[in-house]
C-alpha cells in the first residue's frame, strides 16, 4: 500500500484550488436513475469514491463517461437493466445506499446491500427504512441485503426523521420527486450538499421548497428531465487546507472557498487567533501569532462544527497554546487518530466522546497508521508541523476524499511525497 512521507518545518505560501464536493457529487450521481434523459455534472472531483459510484451505476445499466478525462461526468439511465446493488461494490462506500430511493421511485423495487465505508461508528439504515416505509415501500432485510418493493408506487407522506441524517434526507428527497402527492421531510438535514442536490433536482423538473432548512416540501411529478449542474465546492477539503498554513506556518489562499460554507469552522479559527479573509478568488488564511490558541470544539450537524473536520482540528490543536476539549457528538468511534498523534508527541487524553488536548511546543515525526479518510489527512497535517520525517501508512482511505493531496501541498511549499507500496 502507498504511504505519504512528510518532512516538516516548511512554511507554506501560495494558492490551493479546492475541488468539487465529494459528498455532494456522491448524492448527485444517483439522481441520474430518476430520469431517462442525460444528467451532466461539472466540477466533479476525481476520487476513488466517485469511481466506485460510477461502477455501481454502470452495474445497474447507467452510462457514465468522463471520469478519467476531467471534471465533467456525463450520465444517462435510459436503459437500466437491473435493480440490484451488489455487496462487492457497496461494501466499499457508505454513499452506495443512495441508489435505494431513486430505484424505488422509478422502478418500484430495489435490492441494495448494506453499505460499508470508514469504520467510524454506527450509521444505521433504519432511518432510511422507516422513512421510505412511510411512503409506501415494503422493505425486508435478508442475507445482508435490503429487499425493497412498492405495490403501486411511492406516495407522498409526512416523514419525521428522528435524527437529521444527511443520507436519509437525500434518499427521501430523491424518492419523493416521483412520488404521488406531497412529501414533507421534518428534521431534515441542512448541509450545503442537501441544498446542492435540491438545486440539481429542481433543474431536472422537481418541485422542491425549503432546502437548507429543517423542513423540506416536495411535490411529486410524473417524470424528470435532464440537466447540467455544477457541483458545489467541497467544504471539508476547504477546511482541511485552511488549517495547513496554521499548522505549518505561512499564508495560503484557498481558491473557490466561501465563508458561507464553513461559517462555524471559521468562527473557531478566529477564536484560535487565525486570520481568515475573503478574497475575490476564495479565502486567505494565516496565523496571527507564532502558535494558535486553544479552543473547545463540539461537532454537530450543519450549521454546527462538522464532524468531518474534527480530526484535522485536533491536529492543529496539538501545538496550540493551552488546553482544548473536543466533543464528538455525531460518531461514537471517531478519535482513532488520537493514538497516532500521541506517537508524534501530542498530549491527548480520550474519554468516551471527549478528547482533551494539551498543546505542546513541537511534534516529532514518526511512522503512523491512517485509520479512516479524515484521520489520514489529519496525520499529514500534523507532519507539516513536526520535526523530522512523518510517514503516514495505509493512505488508501485518503484517495477516497482528496485529489492528489501531495501535489496540492507540494505546490505551496510542503516537503511531501507519495511512496508507492511494494
Question: Which parts are annotated binding residues?
Answer: 22-23, 94, 308, 330
Q: Which helix (H) or strand (E) holds 242?
A: helix 235-248
25 is catalytic: no
- Name the β-bridge partners of 305: 299
Exactly one of 118, 200, 254, 318 is catalytic; name it. 118
CA distance 410 to 13: 10
> Which among 66, 138, 147 has a CA at the least distance from the CA of 111?
147
Grid cell listed for 413: 511549499
Burial of 162 (0-12, 13-18, 19+ CB in 10 A): exposed
- Binding residues for UDP-N-acetyl-alpha-D-glucosamine, as ranges, are 94, 308, 330
CA distance 13 to 154: 53
Q: Which helix (H) or strand (E) holds 113?
A: strand 109-113
- Name the β-bridge partners of 387: 364
3-state secondary structure of 331: coil
CB proximity list for 285: less than 8 A, separation 6 or greater:
242, 245, 246, 251, 252, 253, 254, 269, 274, 275, 276
Is the CB of residue 111 less than 8 Å from the CB of residue 145?
yes
Burial of 2 (0-12, 13-18, 19+ CB in 10 A): middle
CA distance 395 to 344: 17
> Which among 265, 243, 255, 237 has a CA at the least distance from the CA of 401?
237
Q: Which helix (H) or strand (E) holds 417?
A: strand 415-419
Catalytic residues: 118
Amino acid at each position: 500500500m502507498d504511504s505519504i512521507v512528510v518532512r516538516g518545518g516548511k512554511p507554506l505560501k501560495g494558492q490551493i484550488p479546492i475541488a468539487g464536493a465529494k459528498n455532494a457529487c456522491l448524492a448527485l450521481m444517483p439522481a441520474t436513475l430518476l430520469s431517462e434523459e442525460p444528467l451532466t455534472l461539472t466540477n466533479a472531483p476525481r476520487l476513488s469514491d466517485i469511481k466506485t459510484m460510477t461502477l455501481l451505476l454502470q452495474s445497474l445499466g447507467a452510462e457514465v463517461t468522463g471520469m478519467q478525462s476531467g471534471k465533467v461526468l456525463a450520465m444517462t439511465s435510459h436503459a437500466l437493466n437491473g435493480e440490484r446493488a451488489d455487496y462487492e461494490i457497496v461494501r466499499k462506500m457508505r454513499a452506495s445506499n443512495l441508489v435505494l430511493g431513486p430505484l424505488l421511485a422509478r422502478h418500484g423495487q430495489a435490492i441494495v446491500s448494506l453499505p460499508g465505508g470508514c469504520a467510524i461508528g454506527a450509521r444505521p439504515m433504519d432511518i432510511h427504512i422507516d422513512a421510505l416505509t412511510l411512503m409506501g415501500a415494503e422493505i425486508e432485510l435478508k442475507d445482508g441485503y435490503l429487499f425493497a418493493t412498492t405495490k403501486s408506487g411511492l406516495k407522498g407522506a409526512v416523514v419525521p426523521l428522528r435524527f437529521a441524517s444527511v443520507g436519509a434526507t437525500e434518499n427521501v428527497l430523491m424518492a419523493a420527486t416521483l412520488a404521488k402527492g406531497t412529501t414533507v421531510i421534518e428534521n431534515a438535514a441542512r448541509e450545503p450538499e442537501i441544498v446542492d442536490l435540491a438545486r440539481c433536482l429542481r433543474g431536472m423538473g422537481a418541485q422542491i421548497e425549503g432546502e437548507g432548512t429543517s423542513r423540506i416540501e416536495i411535490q411529486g411529478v410524473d417524470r424528470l428531465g435532464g440537466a447540467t449542474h455544477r457541483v458545489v465546492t467541497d467544504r471539508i477539503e476547504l477546511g482541511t487546507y485552511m488549517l495547513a498554513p496554521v499548522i505549518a506556518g505561512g499564508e495560503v489562499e484557498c481558491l473557490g472557498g466561501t465563508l458561507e460554507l464553513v461559517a462555524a469552522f471559521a468562527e473557531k479559527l478566529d477564536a484560535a487567533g487565525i486570520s481568515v479573509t475573503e478574497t475575490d478568488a476564495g479565502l486567505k488564511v494565516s496565523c496571527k501569532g507564532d502558535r494558535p490558541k486553544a479552543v473547545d470544539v463540539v461537532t454537530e450537524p450543519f450549521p454546527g462544527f462538522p464532524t468531518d473536520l474534527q480530526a484535522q482540528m485536533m491536529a492543529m490543536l496539538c501545538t496550540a497554546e493551552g488546553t482544548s476539549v473536543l466533543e464528538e457528538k455525531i460518531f461514537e468511534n471517531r478519535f482513532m487518530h488520537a493514538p497516532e498523534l500521541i506517537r508524534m508527541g501530542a498530549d491527548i487524553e480520550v474519554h468516551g466522546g471527549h478528547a482533551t488536548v494539551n498543546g505542546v511546543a513541537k511534534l516529532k515525526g514518526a511512522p503512523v497508521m491512517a485509520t479512516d479518510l479524515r484521520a489520514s489527512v489529519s496525520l499529514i497535517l500534523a507532519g507539516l508541523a513536526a520535526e523530522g520525517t512523518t510517514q503516514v501508512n495505509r493512505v488508501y482511505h485518503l484517495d477516497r476524499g482528496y485529489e492528489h493531496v501531495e501535489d496540492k501541498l507540494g505546490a505551496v511549499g510542503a516537503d511531501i511525497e507519495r511512496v508507492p507500496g511494494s
